[in-house]
Amino acid sequence: MKQVTYSADRFINQLAFTLDIPDERYASADRSYRSICDWLERPESRFAQVYINAYTQGSFRLGTVIRPLNGEEHYDLDVVCEFGASKTSSTQKQLFDDLGHELKLYAARYSMGAPSGWDRCWTLNYADAAQFHMDLLPSIPDGQRQRTLREARKLSLEYVDKSISITDRNHPRYQQYTDDWPSSNPNGYADWFMARMEVAFNERRRAMALNEAKADVADIPAFRVKTPLQSAIQILKRHRDLCFSEQPDGRPSSIVISTLAAHAYQQEATVTGALFSILASMDRYIEVRGQTYWIANPSDPRENFADAWEAEPERKLAFDDWLDTARKDFERAGETEDLAQMIDLLSPRLGRELLEKAATRHSPGAVAKSVATRRLHGVMQRVFDAPHRKPVAWPTVPQGSVSLSGAMSRAGFRPTAVASNGAAVPIGSSLRFEAKTNLVWPYKVFWQVVNTGPAALRANDLRGGFLEGTVSAGNLVRNERASYKGSHTIECFIVKDGYCAARSGPFIVNIG
């Protein structure tokens, strides 16, 4: 792991704590799904004579839930209802309909809205005070059948006995009595995930039990134990969510991030250590089988979590771009002791308000500085914090200065000077920016243009990357065109010997 400052290490740990949901949310979710289990087991239930094993899956099960971006704290709770039924006495449709029947009665009994039936599951929407909805997936055990199928293909049998058959209304034999049901293995995946962090989990649970004077570690609920792996995944999911908030196409799935992160985790004892280790190596666990990228489901080696990448290659490119951006974001943040600067560096893809909240405990001064900056910049802060603004790719070692001037021209008119954050220039105008630096050549020059606004978004033309310029006779010039209404920025970077030696600061261009 690259050297990380003390301030960055402490801040990243606090960030993970701020992202996590309150223990009460986990406890409330646990009570809610157990209440449904009790309902399904009552004497009048269609499942009264059937063994029922219900359990959570997804981010609640893995302990990687994060607070939603919109701040409304509404969560998705995924629950598997595993019934000890037989495929000889039930079709997928019958099992699905029976669960729906019981959930409708449950909803009526507790004055809830009627459940919604989807292709695979039923959704119960709880009252606003509960702040979550529950997706319930009907299933039956399928370990023996899956063992036979895997043995025939000489595949790993790890976790196979946890396999289940699930319902799917799109399955061709949905209404038939058949052994051929879709399969899944959420319990097996959760067991694998827990095994990847077992050492860290047990150490933290023991420490909590000692600290709270508990006689038995089992008295500490698992949801209260947060490992560095879980915290790192929460941070990466938040980064992913904001990174793709403007253009969600290609957004890496949580299961891809969680699987690769768990593979890369090496029992690091700190959140920062886990995060940087995962970022450095998670892509090494993407296999290439022939022409296909493959991220195997650890609980079912036949399933490829990256199957969408083959039909949509742009998804792999989006993943690579996101990972590269995350690496640079945290690398730059890890280099500084200045917490206010850290907030500025991470705000585009973690959110300024979240970062200010995380910094409040240890550095109220940095928060005050960030708030003051936000007020000073006003609406322009959204441009500076735009999720598509790429992080600076080079370590900063100031060696000089660079400044920018701008000019606008239109057909039939003489060029006129443009001031940063000055009057709006007309759409279609030609723009010329010239940089002046006191650094001595040789060096490289890069320009970063960040545009915003609905017009650029609709045109799929949001810009935020770096473009290498040319140095001609000592002149550093960049020509642009005023294409989209809104506030935009351009900045010049002078790179010398692999370091950012000078940067101009954003030059704001208003177009209208």
Domains in the chain: boundaries: 6-11+226-384, 22-186, 402-511
88 band by pLDDT with thresholds 50, 70 and 90? very high
Global confidence as pTM: 0.93
pLDDT at 276 over 90: yes
Task: Residue 226: name the closest of 1, 58, 18 by CA.
Answer: 18
194 band by pLDDT with thresholds 50, 70 and 90? very high
| Residue 115 per-residue DSSP state | P
Do 22-186 and 402-511 fold alike per CATH? no
What would the CATH number be for the domain defined by 22-186?
A: 3.30.460.10
pLDDT at 379: 75
pLDDT at 308 over 80: yes
- Name the more confident of 127 and 240: 240
Mean pLDDT of the chain: 94
CB 232 within 8 A of CB 275: yes
130 band by pLDDT with thresholds 50, 70 and 90? low
Q: Which CATH class is domain 402-511?
A: mainly beta
pLDDT at 419 over 70: yes
pLDDT at 128 over 70: no
How far the first Cα of the chain sits from its last, in Å, is: 47
- Give the C-alpha separation, 223 to 228, whole Å: 14
Residues of the chain above pLDDT 70, percent: 98
Helix axes of 313-334 and 271-281: crossing angle, nearest 10 degrees? 140
pLDDT at 362: 78
What are all long-range contacts of 316-322, with beta carbons under 8 Å and residues at least 24 apart? 317/250, 318/244, 318/249, 318/250, 318/251, 318/252, 319/250, 319/252, 319/256, 320/283, 322/239, 322/240, 322/243, 322/244, 322/252
pLDDT at 1: 59
pLDDT at 418: 95
Q: Average pLDDT in the 388-392 region?
A: 96
pLDDT at 378 over 90: no
